[in-house]
Amino acid sequence: MNAHLQPTGSAYFLTQETQQSERHTLSVLVDNEPGILARVVGLFSARGYNIESLTVSETEHDKRLSRITVVVIATPKTLVQIKLQLERLVPVHKVHDLTAEGAYLERELALIKVNGTGDQRAETLRLADAFRAQIVDATVESFVFEVTGKPSKIDSFITLMQPLGLIEVVRTGLAAISRGPEGM
């Protein structure tokens, strides 16, 4: 066994010591009850862990279960700590690291408001069409587009809209699900 993977009296020795931070998407199944989101966020806040994206919604109404999708950028050691601490919260049923478990799908929705006047109006519409952005509101002065897809697609659309008169962006945060026949 490598010296850096020797037991130290802690379960954290199982993770190789590196300082390389990685982006991970965690899916957390919890009871849908008041205060659970505050407890999960408090866990991150109290330990100084940053949340890149957070979404939560009831997924099984009859069982009163909600799914929290959290995107974090952390070192492997910190990630192990996050998962273990989440699993210890009482209303948490399951914690899955979708990134580590293999193939998964992720999508995000954004509403993007852009100026739509003059010569740039046609270019704005052309680019929106190329990105399959839906027009959800249009006035003589502006458009609001709905864009769904991978975060990188949304980032690219926003970058292209900036010189055309980007006004405002609202993003939902990431929704993610594992591929294959098994559920959470």
For residue 1, what pLDDT band results from cuts at 50, 70 and 90?
very low
For residue 4, what pLDDT band results from cuts at 50, 70 and 90?
very low
Rounded Cα–Cα distance for residues 184 and 169 (Å): 32
Residues 61 and 115 in one domain: no
For residue 97, what pLDDT band results from cuts at 50, 70 and 90?
very high
Q: Out of 69, 84, 102, pick the residue that ends a domain.
A: 102
Domain with residue 81: its CATH number is 3.30.70.260
pLDDT at 184: 83
Query: Using an 8 Å Cβ cutoff, are 66 and 59 in contact?
Result: yes
Q: pLDDT of 25-49, one tens digit each?
A: 999 999 999 999 999 999 988 888 8
Residues 141 and 76 in one domain: no
Q: pLDDT of 124-149, one tens digit each?
A: 999 999 999 999 999 999 999 999 99
The CA distances from residue 67 to 28, 57, 64, 93, 170, in Å, are 6, 6, 10, 10, 21
Residues 88 and 19 in one domain: yes
Domain with residue 135: its CATH number is 3.30.70.1150
Total domains, the chain? 2
The CA distances from residue 161 to 30, 136, 141, 144, in Å, are 38, 16, 15, 12
Residues 89 and 141 in one domain: no
Q: In which domain, by residue range, is 58 found?
A: 13-102
Residues 74 and 115 in one domain: no
Q: Is residue 110 part of a domain?
A: yes
Q: Is residue 183 part of a domain?
A: no
Q: pLDDT of 174-183, one tens digit each?
A: 999 999 888 8
Rounded Cα–Cα distance for residues 41 and 52 (Å): 12
What's the whole-number mean pLDDT along residues 78-99? 92
Q: pLDDT of 151-173, one tens digit each?
A: 999 999 999 999 999 999 999 99
Q: Is residue 8 part of a domain?
A: no
Q: Is residue 29 part of a domain?
A: yes
Residues 75 and 137 in one domain: no
Q: Is residue 83 part of a domain?
A: yes
Mean pLDDT (the chain) is 89
Residues 76 and 112 in one domain: no
Q: Out of 54, 76, 102, pick the residue that ends a domain.
A: 102
What's the whole-number mean pLDDT along residues 63-85? 92
Residues 59 and 87 in one domain: yes
Q: Is residue 182 part of a domain?
A: no
Q: Is residue 3 part of a domain?
A: no
Paired with 53 in beta bridges are: 71
